Structure 1
Amino acid sequence: MLGASAAPAGVKAVDGLAVLDRAAFGRRAFLRACALDVQARKPGNVSIASPGHGMQAEHFKASAAAAACPISSAGARVGERIEVAVRAAWQATHCNTNLGIVLLCAPLLAAFERCGGAGGAEGLRAALEEVLQALDVEDARAAYRAIALARPGGLGRAPAQDVAEAPTVGLREAMALAAHRDRIAWQYQHGYPDVFGLGLPAFLAARARGAARAMQATFLEFLAALPDSHIVRKHGDAVAHCVIGEAAHWRERARRGELLDDDPAFAAWDEGLKARALNPGTSADLCVAVALAAALTEACPASPRFY
Structure 2
Amino acid sequence: MKRSPAPARADRAECGRQAFLWACSLDVQTRKPGNVSFASAGHGMHAATFIAAAAVSAGPISAAGATVGERIEAAVRAAWQAVHCNTNLGIVLLCAPLLAAFERGEGTTDADTLRGALEAVLQSLDLADARAAYRAIALAHPGGLGRVAEQDVQAAPTVGLREAMALASHRDRIAWQYQHAYGDVFELGLPPLLAARSAGDAGARAMQAAFLEFAAALPDSHIVRKHGGAVAQSVIREAAPWRARARAGAVLDHDPAFARWDEDLKARGLNPGTSADLCVAAALTAALLVPPPRLP
Shift of 1:297: 1.9
1:265 and 2:260 matched: no
In 2: Cα distance, 1:106 partner to 1:251 partner: 28
The amino acid across from 2:270 in the alignment is: L
Select which of 157, 161, 184 maps to 2:174: 184
Q: Displacement of 1:151 after TM fit?
A: 0.6
Specify the alignment match of 1:170 in structure 2: 160
- Match of 1:12? none
Q: Which residue of 1 aligns with 2:147?
A: 157
Please point out which of 289, 292, 295 is paired with 1:297.
Answer: 289
Q: TM-score, normalised by structure 1?
A: 0.92
Secondary structure in 2 matching 1:277: coil
* Separation (CA, whole Å) in 1 of partners of 2:193 and 2:109: 19
1:278 to 238, 246, 270: 270
Matches of 2:49 and 2:240, distance apart in 1: 29
Q: Distance in 1 between matches of 2:98 and 2:294?
A: 16
- Tell me by how many angstroms 1:202 deviates: 2.3
For the Cα contact (< 8 Å) 2:192–2:210, is it kept in 1? yes
User: Residue in 1 aligned with 2:24?
Assistant: 34
What is the deviation of 1:205? 2.9
Task: Could you tell me which runs of 5 or more consecutive residues in structure 2 were left unpaired when the two chains were aligned.
Answer: none
The CA deviation at 1:53 is 0.2
Q: Is the 8 A contact 1:161 1:167 kept in 2?
A: yes
Mapping of residues 1-307 of structure 1, within 5 Å = 16-118=6-108, 120-207=110-197, 208=199, 209-298=201-290, 305=293
Deviation at 1:298, TM superposition (A): 2.9
Contact 2:20 2:58 in 1 (8 A): yes
- 1:198-236 per-position Cα deviation (integer Å, ceiling 9, x unaligned): 111122234445411110010001000110010001001
- What is the CA–CA distance in structure 2 between the aligned matches of 1:108 and 1:5, rounded to whole Å? 24
Structure 1 stretches lacking a partner, 5+ long: 7-14
Report which stretch shifted further, 199-208 or 100-109. Answer: 199-208
1:132 partner letter: L
Distance in 1, Cα, partners of 2:78 & 2:60: 8
> How far apart are 1:168 and its partner, in Å?
0.4
Percent identical: 73
1:11 aligned residue: none
Counterpart Cα distance in 2 of 1:24 and 1:205: 25
CA 1:306–1:184 in 2, change beyond 3 Å: closer, same or farther?
A: farther
**Contact persistence 1:117–1:123 (CA under 8 A):** no
Q: Deviations over 1:142-170 (max 9, x none)?
A: 00000000011110111100000000000
Q: Measure how far apart 1:90 and its partner are.
A: 0.5
One-letter identity of the residue aligned with 2:158: T
Bigger drift between 201-210 and 273-282 goes to 201-210
TM-score of the two chains, using structure 2 as the length reference: 0.95
User: How far apart, in 2, do the equivalents of 1:74 and 1:47 lie?
Assistant: 30
SS at match of 2:66: coil
Report deviation, 1:260. Answer: 0.6
How many residues get paired? 292
The residue type paired with residue 146 of structure 1 is A
Q: Distance in 2 between matches of 1:159 and 1:306?
A: 46
CA distance in 2, matches of 1:33, 1:111: 17
Q: Is the 8 A contact 1:120 1:298 kept in 2?
A: no
Matched residues in 1 for 2:25 and 2:53: separation?
A: 11
Q: Deviations over 1:53-83 (max 9, x none)?
A: 0000010000000100000000000000000
